[in-house]
Structure 1
């Protein structure tokens, strides 16, 4: 498929802030990879408030501005915007002023769950964020072990107004067959609404946005791929996005032979 633009709303492209590029040259290399893949706009999303990284909004804004200057000087046709991949914590509503959204007005925010669980306080926290005008977007739910075991957990979050983002590498099998199958089911059942690269400038964590959109088009038709790309643009622009048509996968019947 051909796209006039491709927006990547989840990319660790900023240098020296987390486990993404170590320096500016690595950032520029990742940017060139993105442009080659057809990506035109990237939301820079360093980790924030997980066990390893704290990246305050002011610092992220400053580093993003410097990267854009470097991109322009290197004549790399890519536009970057500042954001964060915010690790879920029970007091995010109290830290709200230091959090960056997908869009400037924080209508949407990328929220990361632990890989091994869904915190019991998550629903209450999401309610607080919604009351502040922010819709949480659960990033890479396909790599969370609780969601893998029971997609009804993700269904409940979506039914309560949250959104979710699947990772291109996951959909293409880069994290293994199980994660690829879960990703497929999430896309099939409209439990995820947008695609992101979650690229980290390391082996096996590339952009792959165009390839993933092509695969979604092959699996579900071009309109599905177009919707995923348009949703990324809408989120970046702060337009209204709501989950539609989400369902739970039909459980396979077991047949016993005696």
Structure 2
């Protein structure tokens, strides 16, 4: 539910060949459904809904030709700014899989008041925000801030690499404990292709199998994703 595999749209896959290689690897790792989420980032990646849908259709055709059996859904990772809700309302940028769920990111050094205000703006406009790679936001390391988000029932997505303590954002912080206590709603690869932040599904499954019970695993890996695909909350 968080990946950058559409070719040539953002800082993810840069060619159809790389996209197909990534999807073959996804299939090998037993992924059967993916929501593709190219960036919408004002001034950097001004990817429109039309571009996403057109490119996704091309990728689907290639998958069919090459026998790749993965169902792909449209979406975007949206950088929050004051005009985002207007773009979502007009359909110029995309929610996840045609649902009310929005994958939203902020600047890592944003103020907590700004982050909370942005999430509230989306909610007040009828959307269900999912905070992308929440572990990046420095303001959430301050005592009480993460708890406040959960008290207000905001949804959190963590990257695979954070869970696995790979090189990357805040890898030395104790984010694994947040997964164990049930505060994380979604895990996403944030895959950018075959080299940059590759898929690590098998490793994630192994860790979850050791540290979470079956009910917790089902909630993160199946139930919450189905809520997106079925547009329920």
TM-score by length of 1: 0.82
Counterpart-to-counterpart distance in 1, 2:202 and 2:43: 32
Contact 2:182/2:216 (<8 A) preserved: no
Identify unmatched segments of 5+ residues in structure 2: none
- Give the root-mean-square deviation of aligned CA atoms: 1.9
Q: Which has the higher helix share?
A: 2
Closer/same/farther in 2, CA of residues 156 and 50 from structure 1, 3 Å limit: farther
Larger Rg: 1
Contact 1:113/1:119 (<8 A) preserved: no
Comparing 171-180 with 189-198, greater Cα deviation is found at: 171-180
Contact 1:143/1:179 (<8 A) preserved: no
Moved over 4 A (4+): none
Deviation, structure 1 residue 204: 4.9
SS across alignment from 2:220:
helix
Q: Which residue of 1 aligns with 2:41?
A: 49
Deviation, structure 1 residue 178: 4.6
Q: 1:115 aligns with which of 90, 100, 108?
A: 108
How many residues are treated as equivalent by the alignment? 230
Counterpart-to-counterpart distance in 1, 2:60 and 2:155: 28
Contact 2:34/2:71 (<8 A) preserved: yes
Contact 2:156/2:186 (<8 A) preserved: yes
Identify unmatched segments of 5+ residues in structure 1: 1-8, 241-258
Q: Which residue of 2 aligns with 1:132?
A: 125
TM-score by length of 2: 0.90
Contact 1:171/1:180 (<8 A) preserved: no
Q: Which residue of 1 aligns with 2:30?
A: 38
Q: Which residue of 2 aligns with 1:104?
A: 98
SS across alignment from 1:117:
coil
Contact 2:35/2:97 (<8 A) preserved: no
